[in-house]
Amino acid sequence: PSEVGVVLMHGKWGAPQSMLPLARELESQGYLVSNVEMAWSERRLYDVDYPAALKEVEAQVKQLRTRGAKRVVVAGQSMGANAAVAYASSGFDLDGLVVMSPGHFPEGGMGGRLRASLDKARNMVAANRANDPESFDDINQGRQRSLRMVARVYVSYFDPDGLGASTKNIRRLSRPTPVLLVIA
């Protein structure tokens, strides 16, 4: 365990505290753990686009390797699971993937419910207003709410053909990767 690092990612509108019990258990077993606030947290609410959020994950992986991890597992819950799959399918270096109660599927029913917001964001991008903030809808656990963010950031998370499309990203995994799928 002391040579294995685990990046933990919380769910949408959540915080690292939600992953603390798992983080503490892993640490008590000798694993190296990184459990930081992600871009989709309640406080940050998509303050960077999806590619930048994945670079934040890469920074956590590098930090774990600096601390002595020879192998790194990227694990996430709900939106964090979506990000773990996006990270793995984007060619970043990892040795395992843990997908817990996956959520955020813009390529599914959620995308249909958010179509008006995605169309508005895409139109803003096309009109050279990609960095203009606006209110866009999001859904978490059936609860819909409007969030203020820039149009290009919204598109990066909610495009049904983009990084947020887990079912498509799984098909893009470029090398064999051990996966643990946990559905609660």
Q: Residue 34, SS3?
A: strand
Q: What is the pLDDT of residue 1?
A: 83
Asked if pLDDT for residue 165 goes beyond 90, the answer is: yes
Q: How far is CA 39 from CA 20, 66, 112, 154, in A?
A: 18, 23, 23, 12
Percent over 70 (pLDDT), the chain: 100
Residues sharing a CB contact under 8 Å with residue 170, sequence separation 6 or more, in sequence order: 85, 89
- pLDDT at residue 33, rounded to an integer: 98
Q: What is the pLDDT of residues 133-163, one digit of tens each?
A: 999 999 999 999 999 999 999 999 999 999 9
Among 9, 83, 50, residue whose Cα is nearest residue 159: 50
User: pLDDT tens digits, residue range 73-121?
Assistant: 999 999 999 999 999 999 898 999 999 999 999 999 999 999 999 999 9
CA torsion angle 156 160 164 166 (round to 10): -160
> pLDDT tens-digit profile of 11-29?
999 999 999 999 999 999 9
What does the pLDDT read at residue 184?
Answer: 80
- What is the spatial distance between Cα 118 and Cα 112, in angstroms, rounded to a whole number? 10
Tokens linked to 73: 């597992």
